[in-house]
Structure 1
Amino acid sequence: MKRFDHILRTMSFVLCIGTASVAVPAQSLPEAVSTNGLLYMTGGIGEDEAKAFLSLAPRYSLRMMFTSPGGGYLADVGVRIADAGGKTLLDTRTEGPFLYIMLPAGRYRIIANAGGPEVARWVSVPRRGGADLHLSVEERAARGTNASCLRCRPSVGL
């Protein structure tokens, strides 16, 4: 009977630890937002949140990452996504270096701005798998400082 109690306590402990470790990344991620029927999420500040974002990448058809020309991650980037006909589908600011969105297959124009010159790219989202887009965006330095996402960890890539 003692052995059974010991096994039961050990299994309960393992289940509690496993549940806690699974719940942590979900709590640290921002919630997905729905705009114009499109689900997206933005963030990725800090190593843990960046890793959690990368683990969710397969769920989104377009995965974007924003960096400065020097390679540092950027947050607070203005992003506009338009369809091939020029209709704006999303106009938002990032809350970290990643923006993941669920778009139907098609061709889209991405325009990003961090205070410097706008960067525009065309991207094709396939029916299966999705597309990755890395945009290097120049920023305008605020009062002689670099406005890069200082808490972002460039060691975790897309």
Structure 2
Amino acid sequence: MFVNARVSLLLPLMFCAWASGAALAQSLPQPASQNGVSYITGGVGQDEVQAFRAAAPRYNLRMTFASKAGSYLSDVDVTITSGAGRRVLTVRTEGPFLFVRLPAGRYQIGAQRRHITETRRVQVPARGGAELRFYWHDPDRHGVVHICKSCPDSGRP
């Protein structure tokens, strides 16, 4: 009798664990591949953010894209070039995260948002990983020109 009671209590717990794991797996985009390089991009919504955090250790280059005001950005054009100058990956992000699995080595990363390109050099280690964060000025304030130095900043163009 006690065995049946334990099993009946254990089954719902196991189902909940399985269901939450399946939900995380469904919210993580399927890895894509280009030139033999595996990557995922996304991170829109709380479930997907949690799924990306869980997947992070499987990728040795992790990039985040945001405005300097703190808003996450997507639709960033990213180009990864090897130390030898060979283009390894060209992708447009589908969220604020781009996680890539690369061979160890030196790379140059170019990230373009609204005609402004940020460039970084990174050493991807044989073990562990590298993290890069790219920040652009607030998209709503791009191209704002102040005519005089003493003019107050109204906060909006």
TM-score interval (norm. to shorter): 0.7 to 0.9
Cα distance between partner residues in 1 of 2:122 and 2:3: 59
Displacement of 1:116 in angstroms is 3.1
Report the number of matched residues. Answer: 141
Given the two structures, how large is their TM-score scaled by the length of structure 2? 0.83
Q: Compare CA radii of gyration and give the structure with the larger one.
A: 2
Provide structure 2 residue ranges, at least 5 long, that are not aligned to the other structure. Answer: 141-157
Q: Say which SS state the counterpart of residue 126 (structure 2) adopts.
A: coil
The one-letter code sitting in structure 2 at the alignment partner of 1:18 is A
Larger relative contact order (Cα-Cα within 8 Å, sequence gap ≥ 6): 1
Give 1:38's aligned residue: 37
Cα distance between partner residues in 2 of 1:29 and 1:128: 24
The one-letter code sitting in structure 2 at the alignment partner of 1:95 is E
Greater Cα shift, 48-57 or 27-36: 48-57
Displacement of 1:139 in angstroms is 7.2
Give 1:132's aligned residue: 131
Cα distance between partner residues in 2 of 1:98 and 1:9: 41
Given the two structures, how large is their TM-score scaled by the length of structure 1? 0.83
The sequence identity of aligned pairs, in percent, is: 45
Q: By percentage of residues, which structure has more strand?
A: 2
- Alpha-carbon contact 1:44-1:53 (below 8 Å) kept: yes
After superposition, where does 1:18-29 map in structure 2 within 5 Å?
18-29=17-28
Displacement of 1:140 in angstroms is 5.7
Give 1:63's aligned residue: 62
1:105-133 superposed Cα distances (whole Å, 9 cap, x missing partner): 11101001111311111111111111000
- Alpha-carbon contact 2:112-2:118 (below 8 Å) kept: yes
Q: Say which SS state the counterpart of residue 124 (structure 1) adopts.
A: strand
Provide structure 1 residue ranges, at least 5 long, that are not aligned to the other structure. Answer: 142-158
* CA RMSD in angstroms, aligned pairs only: 1.7
